[in-house]
Every structure is written in C-alpha cells, then in structure tokens.
C-alpha cells in the first residue's frame, strides 16, 4: 500500500482544451504529458473518472480536473479496465500486465497475485464486474474473486464443470444467477449470497458459435451481444442488428439500453433501444467519432470517445479539456526558452506545442488545414515556427497567426531536417540532393561529392562553427560539410570506422549532438563516439570511444547498444535515449549519473525516441512511442550575468524533505548558504545555471527553521548576495 499524491488543476469547462495536465514540481519529480484524448472508459464515483491507456482523468462537480498516473501514485501504465465500488468508495483499476490497483482516498492497494501466478500461461484481464463487496475479474483463464474489504484474492471460479482454464470475456448477473461469456459459449449458475457452487454451470443452448464476447443486464434480463447484433435471453434470435455500424458497448439506460456505435468512416453515435424495441438517437455522428464507453448520471450522459476525448452531454454538448497532445509525437521536436514544438510525424497531421500556456494542439490554423509535419525549428530572430513537410517547408508566424507553405526546390526528395542558425540562415536536409541553405533571400543547394550516397540522408545538425554533420545512408558513417563562411576552404568529408578517417564506433550512425564545448557526440548501433574536429579540409577527425566503469567492469560506452538520441543539458551533461531507458552521463561521458526505465520511473516504454531539455527550468522531456513524460532535472542554462535568482520551494514547509533549487545562476557559480550571523551552512557549485541544496549541513543534519542567506561568486571572483531562503517553523 502506498499514498497517492494529489495533483489537481481547477479548470472550468469553458476553458480552452490546451492547458497543461499538471503543474511542474520540484527537483526530481515527474509529470505525464499523455494523449488523454484516447479515452477508453468512463465511470461514476465520487467524481467522474475517465481512463486512457496511460492514466486516469477525474472531473469533480465544479469542473476541477485531476490527473492520476504513475508519477503520483499508480503502479503501472496500460490501464485495461476501471470500476467504482460505491459501498466502500473505492476505484478499481486493472492493467494490461494483469496487476490491479485499488484506490481508496489517498491510499493505493496493489494486488499482483494474477500478474505473478505461474499456474496459467495467459493471465490477461478482460473485464471487471462488482457485486456486493466483491469484484469478479474476468480473465483468460476464468473468474478471479477479489474481496474489496480485505483487498485480497478470495477464490477462482472456472465457468465450466471440469475446473479447466477457460477464457472468460465478461460476466453479468440477475437477482439469482451469474452469467459468464466464455470462449466455449455462455454459462450460467445459481448465485446465492454472492457465492456459487462449483461444477454447477449450465451452458445456455443456442448461443455457442455466435461470436458473443459481451453481455449486459437490464431489469433482471440478460442481453448478450456481438459487435453487430443484440440478443435478449432466452431467445437466440437477434432483437436488433447493424450492417455498417459496429457496437462498441451497451449500458443500462434505466428504461432502455444505451448503445455506442461507430463505423469505418470514423463517425459515431449513441442510440437508445427502448423496451418497446424502438430506437432513439441521443447523440449523432456530427458530434461523436469513436464512442467506446458511456454512462447516464441522472440526466447527463458521459461519453468516452477514443478519437476525441470525454464528452459531457446534457442540454448542450461539452467536451472536457483534458490536456496533452492529441497524438503521439513521432516527428522531430525542438525546444528553446519559450516553447517545445512537437510535430506528429507521418501518421497524423499537425503538431502540438508546450509553453507557459500548457499544451496546445494545432491541426488547423485559421482556414488552413495543416499537413503531415516531420521536423521542427524556431527562428531565434523572430520566433517564427518552422516545420518540414514532404518537399515543403511550413512556417507559422505566431504574432500574425498566419501559416504559409514554402517550396525551396523543385528537385525530387523530401525535406527531412531543418536548422536555423543564430544569424537566421536556414539549413534544410533534402533527401537525394544535399543541403539547402537560405541566406540573403535566396535558396542555394549544396551537393555532396558524386561518390557520396544521397538517397536516404535524413538527420543533420548545424554546429556552432558552421559545419553540417549528417548521418550517411546505408550504414556509410558520417558526412561533414563546411562552407567558406567560417573556414578558408569549403569541403566535404566522409567519416567511417577506419582509424584516421573517423574511428567511429559503427558505420550505422543514428544521432548527432554538439555539446557546450563544441565536441560532436555521435550515437550509433554500437554505442557512442566523441569527435573534436577543426578544419576538415586539412585535419584528421577521429572519434574517441569513452570507457566507463559500470557494475565493476570497464567497457566502451554503450557498446552494442543502439543510441536513439543524445541531448545536452545546462551543465553540459549528456542525456542518452536508448531502447533500455534514458541515461544521464557526466559532461565528459565517463560517469553514469542516473538511469531511468519503467522499473524506477513513470516512463510508459523503455524504448526512448527523443529527449529535450528546457533551458530555463531544466525540465527533461522524455518521449517514447507510447507517450511523453518529463523529469525536473538539476541543471539549467546559465545566466549571462549574476543578478537575482529564483528559489523553489520558498518558503519551505517544516516537513519538506526534498531538494531546494536555486535557479538563474551564472555558469559554475560558487554558491554559499549562511545563517543570519554569517556562519557557513553549505557550499556547492551550480550545474549550468542551477544549484541544488538538500536543506542540510555538511554533516547531514537538517538545518533549523529560520532565514538563510544565499551568496554567489563567479569565476572572476565577484561575490554578491542574491537571495534568502525561509524555512518555516513547525510550531
């Protein structure tokens, strides 16, 4: 059992659907940035609870939204089913991996029995059904009975008479009977005091082989159904059927059945099958796309639409602003001090942005429908947002709210990467051709040498010295280009694993990054290499292959590991994205500082695709194919000159045990913390522009309540008082 951390944001239903899911926390805390528009379920409890695959979203009667995920209490991601137990005010959650959480107030109870059992090869959970103080868990081997008072497994029922494992899809009850839909048909048994007698199951005649996997009840009557037809037991003739529509779920509507439908054109509706068999359309296809769950709360309908989110339907249709990107992020992101741009890639049109306004989703700007967008950049001179889209560039002028499309070249080949220099020059990687450079109001194509393979060039960075570093296609290593803007000789160079011509860790280079000292870090399918190279026209450019100590053994850094991305934080440390989690390395790469994966962090997948670090607050955005999370790091971008600093939290509660962040420092600042008498309490150095204090002395003792002074000294020896820290008294 563990306690749940509550993160709530009061959002009125009239607000825009772009607010952040939760506010940023202290050093070492996590946030989820999930696509909660893919809502799969909705239940009524003390609040309305909706579940996506990633987390829970609750809405209270005043419209306040709370997000509950792995970062603040849940034990897993991959929510399969949720149910509310009214008698005990508990929310039950079943996960894809067969673990179960039960939330009661701020406590979370975890039941891992099904997940850990070795008795059955397939332990998947299909549904939850609550009866009395028990939960009947339909699994791929039978029905597991959970005691919701003691939070323990009570029994396992097999809906047959031979006690053999049988896939059970769903159950329902009447006043005296339990009905189970299984792989072998529908079985029933007498139900007395919420208990059954083993080996007394009856197979309902006529229902075998009909493809029935769902069942519901209304007014003591059982309704089995497929995705096309509905039956009313005991008749084996359908009472209603659909040709083009698919039945997603059926729920008790009081005086009729509520049916959620969808079709192949992504249009959905909710209809009501009245007791006299008449059909009434409650919500039509102009509103819904993919309704997958619903409930009736007095006169209000709540609809879970897996394509559009959560709908509240009373007199009007009201979509709940549940935040987050509306798609998984598969394009190349860009981050600066003002915004994170996150293009959706080639599977969905448009992009999301994250800033002080929270998440905002863009699929259309004014009357312009956005295309598929694959990479992004922000112009440092005017803050215009740029994207690549097939062989076009898309530019969004935020101030004028105008989007425009630019065709830099008629030549064949898609634009794959875009970079904008500090001078406003635009560099774009064009597949099959080379590099397009926009300067002095003209586009110029720089063509690689004829012996360089050009089909398949995709990734590029522009270094501070003006060199373009590109991943070569077909496992050909690296291409480097320098112009005469910063060098005497314009030149191309190809680097491979050969010593004297690159010494790369592999010829399959997957990513490139430049650190704060100008070193080029190369990720490959065989670890990392570091290159310090000047004029490529007359210098050898060989990579160093870092050797690290890990688990007592010396070895090449990430040998035989595929590196998906490398990102540099404010202290010049390196964040490494791999298929086995995210890693934080020291500035020189010789020390592993931290490692995060699903076992120790709320990351939805260990396969990390991108990492972005926010310069000003050090928040590390970690993207996976299953969604994005962020971590409040310890390093930020340094201030140019030492003025005032931001201290968080401040004042500090007497029971606070977490780190205290001092942000806005110059690089490598010496930070001294003293009491009011000038006695030194603690001293450290900033990581980039941020220092961290744990509220303790050098000896590890927690300091007393009171006021503490912060002094900083830069590398030139200039010292000044920059802040105060107030530690509140426990009295």
Instruction: Quote the pLDDT of residue 643.
Output: 76
What's the token pair of residue 358?
Answer: 């929270």
Contact 122/114 with Cβ under 8 angstroms?
no
Asked if 293 and 41 count as a contact pair (C-beta separation under 8 A), the reply is: yes
For residue 402, CA distances in Å to 297, 366, 407, 419 come to: 43, 8, 17, 21
CA distances from 157 to 140, 145, 172, 207, 539 (A): 12, 8, 14, 21, 74
Mean pLDDT of the chain: 91
Question: Does pLDDT of 270 surpass 70?
Answer: yes
Mean pLDDT of 23-39: 87
Q: Does residue 159 contact residue 136 with C-beta atoms inside 8 Å?
A: no
568: Cβ contacts below 8 Å, ≥ 6 apart? 513, 514, 515, 516, 521, 574, 575, 613
Question: For 96-106, how does the pLDDT look when each residue is reduced to its tens digit (9 = 90+)?
Answer: 999 999 999 98
pLDDT in tens, 652-700: 988 888 899 999 999 999 999 999 999 999 999 999 999 999 999 988 8
DSSP annotation of 195: B
Q: Which of 422, 427, 499, 421 is nearest to 457 (CA)?
A: 427
Q: Which residues pair with 44 in a beta bridge?
A: 48
In eight-state DSSP terms, residue 721 is E
What pLDDT, on a 0 to 100 scale, did the predictor assign at position 552? 67
Q: Is 292 left (phi over 0), alpha (psi -120 to 50) or beta?
A: alpha
Q: CA 166 to CA 682: how far, in whole Å?
A: 64
* Cβ–Cβ under 8 Å, residues 594 and 578: no
pLDDT digits (tens, 9 = 90+) for 437-468: 999 899 999 999 999 999 999 899 999 999 99
With residue 115 as reference, give the H or E element that holds it: helix 113-116
Q: Single out the residue of 107, 145, 140, 105 nearest to residue 125, CA to CA.
A: 140
Residue 13, pLDDT score? 24
Are the beta carbons of 248 and 261 closer than 8 angstroms?
Answer: yes
Which tokens go with 418? Answer: 């875009």
Three-class SS state of 332:
strand
- Reading the block at residue 137, the tokens are 């868990």
| Tokens, residue 117 | 């059992």
Tell whether the model's pLDDT for residue 5 goes beyond 60: no
Burial (CB < 10 A; 0-12, 13-18, 19+), residue 467, is: buried
Q: Rounded CA gap, 15 and 12, in Å?
A: 6
pLDDT of the residue at 550? 64
CB-based contact 175:218 (threshold 8 Å): no
The DSSP output letter for 638 is: P
pLDDT tens digits for range 371-416: 999 999 999 999 999 999 999 999 999 999 999 999 999 999 999 9
58 phi/psi in degrees, rounded to 5: -115, 150
pLDDT exceeding 90 applies to what percent of the chain? 79
Give the chain's length: 731
Q: Check: CB of residue 32 under 8 Å from CB of residue 70.
A: yes
**CA distance linking residue 16 with residue 362, whole number of Å:** 13
Residue 16 scores a pLDDT above 50: no
d(CA 527, CA 602): 25
The model's pTM: 0.87
Contact at 8 Å (CB) between 643 and 623?
no
């Amino acid at each position: 059992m563990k306690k749940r951390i509550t993160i709530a944001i009061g959002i009125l239903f009239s607000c825009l659907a772009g607010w952040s899911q939760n506010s940023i926390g202290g050093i070492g805390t996590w946030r989820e940035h999930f696509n909660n528009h893919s809502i799969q379920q909705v239940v009524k409890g003390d609040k309305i609870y909706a579940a996506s695959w990633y987390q829970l979203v609750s809405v209270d009667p005043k419209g306040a939204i709370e997000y509950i995920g792995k970062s603040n209490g849940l034990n897993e991601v991959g929510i399969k089913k949720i149910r509310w137990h009214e008698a005990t005010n508990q929310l039950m959650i079943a996960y894809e991996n067969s673990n179960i959480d039960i939330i009661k107030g701020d406590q979370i109870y975890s039941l891992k029995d099904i997940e850990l059992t070795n008795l059955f090869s397939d332990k998947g959970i299909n549904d939850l059904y609550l009866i009395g103080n028990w939960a009947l868990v339909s699994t791929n081997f039978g029905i597991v009975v959970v005691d919701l008072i003691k939070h323990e497994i009570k029994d396992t029922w097999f809906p047959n008479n031979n006690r053999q494992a049988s896939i059970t899809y769903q159950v329902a009850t009447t006043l005296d009977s339990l009905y189970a839909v299984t792989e072998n048909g529908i079985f029933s048994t007498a139900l007395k005091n919420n208990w059954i007698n083993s080996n007394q199951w009856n197979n309902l005649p006529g229902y075998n082989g009909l493809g029935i996997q769902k069942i519901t009840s209304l007014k003591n009557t059982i309704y089995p159904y497929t995705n096309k037809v509905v039956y009313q037991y005991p008749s084996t003739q359908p009472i209603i059927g659909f040709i083009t529509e698919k039945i997603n779920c059926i729920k008790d509507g009081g005086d009729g059945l509520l049916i959620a439908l969808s079709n192949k054109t992504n249009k959905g509706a909710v209809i009501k099958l009245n007791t006299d068999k008449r059909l009434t359309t409650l919500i039509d296809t102009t509103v819904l796309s993919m309704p997958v769950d619903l409930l009736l709360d007095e006169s209000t309908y709540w609809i879970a639409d897996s394509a559009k989110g959560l709908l509240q339907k009373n007199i009007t249709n009201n979509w709940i602003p549940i935040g987050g990107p509306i798609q998984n992020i598969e394009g190349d992101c860009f981050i600066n001090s003002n915004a994170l741009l996150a293009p959706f890639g080639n599977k969905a049109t448009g992009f999301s942005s994250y800033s002080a306004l929270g998440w905002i989703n863009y699929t259309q700007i004014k009357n312009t429908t956005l295309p598929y967008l694959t990479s992004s950049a922000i112009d440092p001179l005017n803050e215009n947002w740029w994207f690549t889209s097939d062989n076009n560039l898309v530019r969004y002028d935020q101030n004028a709210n105008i989007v425009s499309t630019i065709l830099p070249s008629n030549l064949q080949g898609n634009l794959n990467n875009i970079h904008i220099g500090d001078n406003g020059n635009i560099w774009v990687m064009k597949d099959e051709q080379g590099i397009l450079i926009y300067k002095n109001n003209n586009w110029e194509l720089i063509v690689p040498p004829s012996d360089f393979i050009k089909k398949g060039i995709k990734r590029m960075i522009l270094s501070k010295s003006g060199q373009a570093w590109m991943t070569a296609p077909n496992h050909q290593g690296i291409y480097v280009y320098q112009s005469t803007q910063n060098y005497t000789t314009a030149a191309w160079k190809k680097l491979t694993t050969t010593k004297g011509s690159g010494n790369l860790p592999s010829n399959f280079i997957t990513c490139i990054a430049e650190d704060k000292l100008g070193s080029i870090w190369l990720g490959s399918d065989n670890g990392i290499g570091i290159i310090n190279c000047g004029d490529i026209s007359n210098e050898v450019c060989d990579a160093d292959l870092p050797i690290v100590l890990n688990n007592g053994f010396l070895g090449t850094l990430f040998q035989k590991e595929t590196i998906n991305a490398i990102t540099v934080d404010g202290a010049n440390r390196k964040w490494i994205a791999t298929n086995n989690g995210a890693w934080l390395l020291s500035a020189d790469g010789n020390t592993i500082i931290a490692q995060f994966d699903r076992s120790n962090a709320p990351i939805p997948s260990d396969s990390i695709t991108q990492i972005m670090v926010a310069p000003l607050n050090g928040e590390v955005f970690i993207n996976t194919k299953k969604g994005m999370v962020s971590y409040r790091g310890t390093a930020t971008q340094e201030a140019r000159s030492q003025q005032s600093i931001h201290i968080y939290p401040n004042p500090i509660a007497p029971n606070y045990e977490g780190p205290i962040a001092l942000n806005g420092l110059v690089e490598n600042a010496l930070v001294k913390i003293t009491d009011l008498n000038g006695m030194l309490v603690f001293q450290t150095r900033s990581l980039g522009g941020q220092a961290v204090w744990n509220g303790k002395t050098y000896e590890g003792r927690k300091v007393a309540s009171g006021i503490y002074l912060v002094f900083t000294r830069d590398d030139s020896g200039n010292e000044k008082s920059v802040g105060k820290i107030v530690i509140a008294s426990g009295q």
